[in-house]
Chain A
Amino acid sequence: MKERKGLIIGSVILLIIFIGMLIKGEPSKSILVWIAALLTLFIYSFLYRDNIFYKFAEHLFVGVSVGYGISVYWQNAFIRKVFDPLFITKTYIVDGQFHLWPLLAIVIPTLMGLLMLSIFTKKQAWLIRIPIAFVVGMSAGISVPSTFQAYIFEHTKNTLYITLSISSFIMIVGVITTLVYFFFSKEHKGLLGKTANIGIWFIMIAFGASFGYTVMARISLLIGRMNFLLYDWLGVIK
């Protein structure tokens, strides 16, 4: 309970600092800046605990982003890829000649899309599996060659840039032991176990290092927001 009290006092101090600055500084006269600043504070209030301000900002954010997303998607999916080619540019008519294939290339996906809506019927709801099966099959087909290209070949090749140095040695040991850690079909005992252990050390060191490396970028984000609050909104700093 005592700890709670301390926290409340801490939060109140922060609030007082802000109110003090609001009085002392030259707050922005733009309503947009005020709205953005208040929403920023609303969202940060959730660091203390869930409250009505955060709930308000959260629901506003979800509502706005869905409305925005559907507007953009509407445009990209329906207007550009279905409506325009079907009725405006008529891609299936070239030099006055009718071509079946370009028409099918619009009609087939539209029909598959309509099958998504089969979920609303009770009996034919299974039809939704057809578009899902199509998308999954497509992703599997794309993933096979691209994983080879982008991951296996790229990383094997880059590992093989070898010089006679400690760095090269560490690189090779690191890649191999990490790969050994991902052996699933053998129990990690004996030599395999030891190698896999070195692999997990490498993984842990790597995770620690990239964690530490990222701190700066994250703090930068907060500095950016703080600058907005103190400079653009409150005008306390020149």
Chain B
Amino acid sequence: MNVLLALLFLMQQTPNSLPSDTTEVIEVVRPAPPTDVIAMDTPNDVGGSVSVQWEISEDDGKGLNNVILYNVFRGQSEEGPFDYIGTVGAGRTSYDDQTVEKDKVTYYYILKAQTKEAVESEASNVASGKAAPQWFHHGRWNILILGILFALFFAFYIRMAKGKKLFIRKIAGLDAVEEAVGRSTEMGKPVLFCPGIGYLYDIATIAALTILGRVAKKTAEYETRIIMPNYDPVVMSAAQEIVKQSYTEAGRPDNFNEKDIFYLTQDQFGFAAGVDGIMLREKPGAIFLQGVFYAESLILAETGHSVGAIQIAGTDRVTQLPFFISACDYTLIGEEMFAASSYLSRDPVMLGSIKGSDASKVVIISVILIGAILGILGGLNIGPFGTWFQSLVNWFGRG
């Protein structure tokens, strides 16, 4: 991904001067120019860009083997004049000219190969092309198709689910919520809910907030204090609303203390230091570490364990899951966390969406299985399976 970004960045950059002045050329051996240049609108964009493609020079990687760059030139007419617009390295066969000023106007392109000694080849053939914006991103058909298919599953199962009792398998970490809050109450200790260092625009944080709603309802019923330090003030505001509502629903709006859901800091390790301090001083009986966590996961979980709390963790960050698994009593692994709100509410419509998610899983498993069989048959050179396999992989690789 980083490499891609850097590449994109590079494409926007053009050398600020032309490597053309060669004063002491003794013997000029010009490389062969690139051939078969074509220019066309860059697909799937907002316009303002023309893609130029060509066949590499005879002296690029073969022949004299002295080509190191291709310089791209653009003109308003077939005869020129042509202005320099950019450079790409040897071996490459395309260039996106993103500096096109007007869409739907024909521009003309030529290329020249260049050697280390800054000797340029003759110009290639002239190619013409226009830029235009598109109304649909054709590289994203696969996402649209699969997205609609999965969404249909959801719609179907939600419709089927209305008014029915649906099964959902046991998720130990969620069954333990009541036990954890209950034990905390018995010991006369508060409950600590830490939403991690995600923002409200992380889906995992929203999932954590739905869990918070259920936990708060329990603490309201048990009349136990709930403490929640926050990393993102927007999450804090949302959390205050949620907990207030939970307390109102439990019939104890007066027990809600807004000051216990507070902002700490927006610095990863500052937050970890602060939450550690709160754990050591408030000695909570139950700790919920739910949401987005990075390296601080183990710092929090180990400190939480040292104060003797029951800990229920959950995150979608796979790299942190091993640490939660080893340091916490219960851990919601990835998708279990997203299923939590449905699990805890037992609302048929919500459970229907879980069924939809399972149906999507069946589709993906089938794709992998079919792919594996095709791949094996293709690998053994049996029939057309190899090509079928390739097109399957390519379909998933687009966009």
Pairing of A with B? yes
A interface, how many residues as a size bin?
35 or more
CB distance from A208 to the nearest CB of B (A): 7
Closest to A156 in B: B396
Residues on A with C-beta less than 8 A from B64 are none
C-alpha spacing A136/B239, complex, angstroms: 13
Residues on A with C-beta less than 8 A from B143 are 145, 148-149, 153
Q: Are B203 and A159 in contact (CB under 8 A)?
A: no
C-alpha spacing A186/B351, complex, angstroms: 12
CB distance from B329 to the nearest CB of A (A): 16
Residues on A with C-beta less than 8 A from B274 are 58, 61-62
Q: Choose one: A128, A161, A184; the contact of B358 (CB below 8 Å).
A: A184
Residues on B with C-beta less than 8 A from A116 are 234, 237
Question: With an 8 A cutoff between CB atoms, is A140 at the interface?
Answer: yes
Q: Are B376 and A65 in contact (CB under 8 A)?
A: no
Q: Are A62 and B358 in contact (CB under 8 A)?
A: no
Chain-A contact segment, one of B55-63, B184-192, B248-256, B263-271: B263-271
Closest to B280 in A: A50
Majority DSSP secondary structure for residues of A touching B: helix
Contact with B along A206-223 (1 / 0, CB 8 A): 111011001000000000
C-alpha spacing A80/B277, complex, angstroms: 35
C-alpha spacing A144/B203, complex, angstroms: 10
Residues on A with C-beta less than 8 A from B270 are 61-62, 64-66
Closest to A137 in B: B201
Residues on B with C-beta less than 8 A from A237 are none
Question: With an 8 A cutoff between CB atoms, is B7 at the interface?
Answer: no
Residues on A with C-beta less than 8 A from B347 are none
Given contacts A55-B277, A139-B200, A145-B147, contact A179 B326 (CB under 8 A): no
- 26 A-B pairs with C-beta separation under 8 A: A46-B276, A61-B267, A61-B269, A62-B274, A65-B265, A66-B270, A69-B265, A119-B237, A132-B200, A139-B206, A140-B203, A145-B140, A152-B146, A153-B143, A159-B368, A159-B371, A160-B371, A162-B389, A180-B365, A185-B354, A185-B355, A185-B358, A187-B167, A207-B321, A211-B322, A211-B323
